[in-house]
Each structure stands twice: as structure tokens, then as C-alpha cells.
Amino acid sequence: MKERVRNYIRVIDTPPGGAPDPIRQEWVEMYLPLARELAQIAEELFGVDGEELPDDSEFFVGFLSDDIETGQKTTANANGYVVDAEEAIEMLEKKGTESGRQAAQYWKQKLIELYGHYRGTQLTFDRNVCEFIRKRGKHPLT
């Protein structure tokens, strides 16, 4: 059985958005796995070996997202990378800092206010503040 490619982003600058700057700054230098892997989609929809896709075909979206503060549609992160909110929030908590825990609590609370839950929701990160990383197997830092 071949090892699946896991695509990640590394947040290299403060993402745009409606959350306060200190909350958004907590994402900087974090490695986050993409929510849906392009390799999986290629295999499921087209029967193509997703591992053979070029690195510049990383998965991103091109639609409006909801502003976390207002709930209004915004283009702040259009054409961004999509990550699973629950997984990203857990990673914030695991940073082991008070500011990371506060940011995690903020995102949980805001997503619950906006959608009624945070599990199963997604966060979108602008492509201009991220570096795409393609890696087989585990997290890029392991």
C-alpha cells in the first residue's frame, strides 16, 4: 500500500480577515494540513493518480467566505487554502502558549456563533500569506 501524499500550508504572514490582529497573528509559522487533498479528489473523481499531479496544482478555492466577525460574505481569503477548523484549532491549543489558547478559544466561539458548531467547519487562508508544502506521510515537522 503506497503512502498518501499529505499537503500542508505554512502560514508565513498574518492572514487577512475580520478577527483581531493578535488572534490572526497566532497562525504565523504554523503548519496546517489541507482539508481536502487534491490527490484524493483527483483519484476519487477522475481515477488519476493524485501523486503525479504537479506541485503547482495545489488545492484551493475561489469563492466568498464568511467574515468571522460579521458573518457577511467577504473576498478577504478568496482563492485561499482550506483547512479543517477543528484540526487547526487543536493545533493552536497545542502551541502551549496562553496566546495560542486564547486564539483557539476565540475561533471556537466565533464559529459556534456563526454556524452553531465548529466541528466540520473550515477556515480559509489567503494564498499570499502561505507556503504550499507537499509531503508524504506525517506532519512536515516530524
Q: What is the pTM of this model?
A: 0.73
Structural domain containing residue 79: 5-49+58-133
Give the count of domains, the chain: 1
Is residue 142, in this structure, part of any structural domain at all? Answer: no
What residues are paired with 32 via a beta bridge? 9
Is residue 116, in this structure, part of any structural domain at all? Answer: yes
The reported pLDDT for the residue numbered 115 is 84
The reported pLDDT for the residue numbered 11 is 97
Does residue 129 surpass a pLDDT of 50?
yes
Q: What share of the chain in percent tops pLDDT 90?
A: 37
Q: Which residues have a Cβ under 8 Å from the Cβ of 88 and sit 6 or more positions away?
A: 30, 32, 107, 123
Is residue 140, in this structure, part of any structural domain at all? Answer: no
Q: pLDDT tens for residues 109-125?
A: 999 988 888 888 888 89
Is residue 139, in this structure, part of any structural domain at all? Answer: no
Average pLDDT of the segment spanning 17-28: 95
Q: Which residues have a Cβ under 8 Å from the Cβ of 44 and sit 6 or more positions away?
A: none
Does residue 56 surpass a pLDDT of 50?
no
Is residue 138, in this structure, part of any structural domain at all? Answer: no
Other beta carbons within 10 angstroms of residue 81's beta carbon come to 24
Which is more confidently placed, 134 or 40?
A: 134
Indicate the average pLDDT of the chain.
78
